[in-house]
Structure 1
């Protein structure tokens, strides 16, 4: 038994090299210098080398510095799917000293307006497909500078024209919009190429990104991630995963959204720093197109999550791919089931190593050693990281006893943007971040998640907070009250079930679902709606979500 087996705290190995980089941009420059003409990112058949990425991000930074009034520290929203424009604009913004606000391109107008206003974003880069939504909320924000890009803007002519024309005129995926102040990304890059760019020096404690995450009390809030947070987590990823990769020689499939902290840190930082080639999958929900794009690619690593592994392994065309080069598969974002892990290994010949993290921890906290994977656990703490569990009174629990998982390390966020009270409630005086997840620390150094303290629902790796769903439903004129809970779902891990008390007996589930779709991103829309005469409550009137969840689980099991 290890020395730490009798202690209430598990610690990863020492973290080395944090002081070699002052900021994320230092990581970028080192990678560009070291790997130059090696491929960095590919998407839809177009590849950017590290030199291309350097040139294009420099052009964008120059445009920001000369053609706008933005100053270091200002926030710029990046609302893009997995396209080459994402790393170009993110690194361009960081080189100009701006703070990146990663924004889900599936957001509704209401969600966009909240995030942009809350972050006090002064600029945005947005895909043309959702520019009509921006038009309708722009006057509710502080955004002055709008950059619009089309899907294939970084492809060469004539493929660029072909793809953009099909998306716009054949598939009709770009609704009409009017943003007179907007400039095209291609114009910004062309103008920036003729301007001198100067990199802005940022310190480790300066903000690099505002990464929005849900809260148990309502609308999403911004986790303040500093340059130190992101650089530390990049180095932690290298220590935990890097031994399985050869610098500059890996071809990595990246189907998860780059605006999500998981892919943002792993692909845009860790894999870039190691000189490896990320293939961005623009629409992984289109399994036909996704699998077609994998054919003939000698990919060596795959980064995914449980629902995607399940979906792919159900496809005969996926099973026929060549997996002979695949030697690393990473899972995160949601719990990996043993069934999914075993099936993936049967199909591909490659085991899955599961990790765990949160937006507030940049995100990686723990990872399964690839030579000692323990299914059902989230692995061991990464370098420089300490974890412990505490009971309801905040007292440390011994190994083997469940409690709330707490994390300490250089990847823990600075706090929540403009929410000091919520920051104090999440990070205690000793710097421990309280995750809200209930875990057991095993005597072999592995961590096992057993439950969640929060009422958060995890749908395909995305956090859904009941209050947000209930707030939207409450605005329906026929709804008296409602409660949203998570239920088991084979495809998504969890789905949302909504219990509703209505004053109109004619209100049906489909009508209410359409109401939700107008205000909520698709994964937040309830899958199951049950009408009741009343909801169980505490003696002070608080709805007992756990009782509803337990009742539903009991019904499903009987």
Structure 2
């Protein structure tokens, strides 16, 4: 596809980025620590680490891995932590030691954790003690030899560290009993690491930085191999796109999405580090009132999130207490933003939501809306510099403008392939470097990309295609709806029909009122034939995306259950 989007780039945005600015994440990290040495880099629960402190502590962690754990270049280290100060220390310590990071969701079940540790061949893991009991269950089935445990308060300094850990363990009972023979605690690791010297490891662009697992919501999770070059390229691409509104060394970024997720990893932990910003880590963003209490007087300048997070904030009674006077950048990714949420955010916070698009296999950012946007566009914007896109038919032919097909991507941010999965790699990557995203999309005359839906979530009603995103967005327009999820369910007459799951904001909401609303905004075959009102929240991924697969599984189990 011709790069028609270049004609619509904002002034000053290059068509290509200089990929030679940094060779590896280690180079970028050390450059930022030198330039912003005395500035705060990460803040959590009222405690900050400066760039200088982060450099020193990460060196201690990396030295422990090299000298005491005996890990050689390329060995995999799993990090199973929520947003705590321990995370960036472990992250950059692992990378600086020449090792590969395997990010792990702390909420994984034993089955999921066993698969990821076994598949990655991780030889070490750092885990929050709250989840050590799950690790204990699966440890014999893995290659892990070194276990490092940490408590919620371990990086908060005295006496706060003791208080937070005591409350977590003995008041809130957040730490189930566990016992792992020979496990190191965080304090031991940092003390022993301080007695060693971190060996400099020569790294190249093609060396593996992350095994970032993906696909767990649609099947067995696969490890996307993201090299230092992939990650640096994406940071340079996003910096070229966003940098015009930022100033080095002064930004305060709110980081509510988990850093183990690739969106937050790149868009917060790495991107804002490059700019010398202070990443304000939110450990539990699902506690909306607690979240607001942490940020309401912060004078933050940037925030990243997803549709469900912004919707939850807007519906919180205390949202009016947030001081958004310094806010200049709100970024969304990971799932479609509903127009109703975007409009309310702009009215409440004074800035639009800048929506982008990416996927794990692209490190992850592919497209973004221009930063000078005055309102929500409904698209995911233009391809980033040094990025090519193509819309392909089922047979692989390139389609024209405004035609819906599978979005394919090519650029320096695209992964090397899937770990130990040559067949899956061959299905995802063409020989000439095109990545099949599995997302249905179109490109308009300005080169803007509109994501229609996930290919695997497509609903076929009597031969007509229905995209769940559209149904969910229409449902969310109703003032009585808090959140919605749409799936296809079997139907003897039309093959499939749309079923809508809704959590009401208004207790008086009825199925009839909701269906009437949908009929006003949707063609007849798109209107839900079944509606299920729920009092509990819908199942979601760690970043807040509605898990349609879980809804489908629940519905299928209910339909297959024997009747009394």
Scaled by the length of structure 1, the TM-score of the pair is: 0.83
Contact 1:499 1:529 in 2 (8 A): no
Contact 1:216 1:455 in 2 (8 A): no
Select which of 423, 426, 444 maps to 1:424: 426
Q: Structure 2 vs 1, CA of residues 492 and 182 (structure 1 numbering), >3 Å: closer, same or farther? A: farther
Deviation of the 1:445 alpha carbon: 1.6
Aligned partner of residue 355 in structure 1, secondary structure: strand
Is the counterpart of residue 532 in structure 1 residue 559 in structure 2?
Answer: yes
Select which of 406, 410, 413 maps to 1:411: 413
What is the CA–CA distance in structure 2 between the aligned matches of 1:273 and 1:39, rounded to whole Å? 13
Counterpart residue number, 1:187: 188
Is the counterpart of residue 444 in structure 1 residue 451 in structure 2?
Answer: no
Q: Deviations over 1:2-56 (max 9, x none)?
A: 985499xx9x943323112121100000000110011100011110000010010
Structure 1 residues not aligned, in runs of 5+: 458-484, 501-508, 535-558
Aligned partner of residue 71 in structure 1, secondary structure: coil
| Larger CA deviation: 177-186 vs 488-497 | 488-497
What is the CA–CA distance in structure 2 between the aligned matches of 1:427 and 1:494, rounded to whole Å? 30
Matches within 5 A, 1:88-99: 88-99=89-100
Number of aligned positions between the proteins: 488
What is the CA–CA distance in structure 1 between the aligned matches of 2:327 and 2:349, rounded to whole Å? 8
Deviation of the 1:174 alpha carbon: 0.3
Q: Deviations over 1:125-147 (max 9, x none)?
A: 00000001111110011100000
Is the counterpart of residue 494 in structure 1 residue 485 in structure 2?
Answer: yes
Counterpart residue number, 2:149: 148
Q: Structure 2 vs 1, CA of residues 400 and 526 (structure 1 numbering), >3 Å: closer, same or farther? A: closer
Deviation of the 1:532 alpha carbon: 3.2
Counterpart residue number, 1:107: 108
Aligned partner of residue 40 in structure 1, secondary structure: strand
Q: Deviations over 1:265-299 (max 9, x none)?
A: 11121110110111000000011211111121111
Counterpart residue number, 1:503: none
What is the CA–CA distance in structure 2 between the aligned matches of 1:496 and 1:445, rounded to whole Å? 30
What is the CA–CA distance in structure 2 between the aligned matches of 1:495 and 1:85, rounded to whole Å? 38
Matches within 5 A, 1:6-405: 13-214=14-215, 218-372=219-373, 375-405=377-407
Scaled by the length of structure 2, the TM-score of the pair is: 0.82
Greater relative contact order (CA < 8 Å, ≥ 6 in sequence): 1
Contact 1:216 1:454 in 2 (8 A): no
What is the CA–CA distance in structure 2 between the aligned matches of 1:54 and 1:311, rounded to whole Å? 35
What is the CA–CA distance in structure 2 between the aligned matches of 1:206 and 1:493, rounded to whole Å? 42
Contact 2:353 2:376 in 1 (8 A): no
What is the CA–CA distance in structure 1 between the aligned matches of 2:490 and 2:404, rounded to whole Å? 30
What is the CA–CA distance in structure 2 between the aligned matches of 1:495 and 1:61, rounded to whole Å? 46
Aligned partner of residue 121 in structure 1, secondary structure: coil
Deviation of the 1:494 alpha carbon: 3.1
Deviation of the 1:456 alpha carbon: 8.6
Q: Structure 2 vs 1, CA of residues 216 and 82 (structure 1 numbering), >3 Å: closer, same or farther? A: closer
What is the CA–CA distance in structure 2 between the aligned matches of 1:215 and 1:41, rounded to whole Å? 29
What is the CA–CA distance in structure 2 between the aligned matches of 1:150 and 1:234, rounded to whole Å? 31
Deviation of the 1:245 alpha carbon: 1.0
Q: Deviations over 1:54-107 (max 9, x none)?
A: 010000011111101211101010000000000000100111111000000110
Deviation of the 1:318 alpha carbon: 1.2
Contact 2:17 2:240 in 1 (8 A): no
Deviation of the 1:497 alpha carbon: 8.3
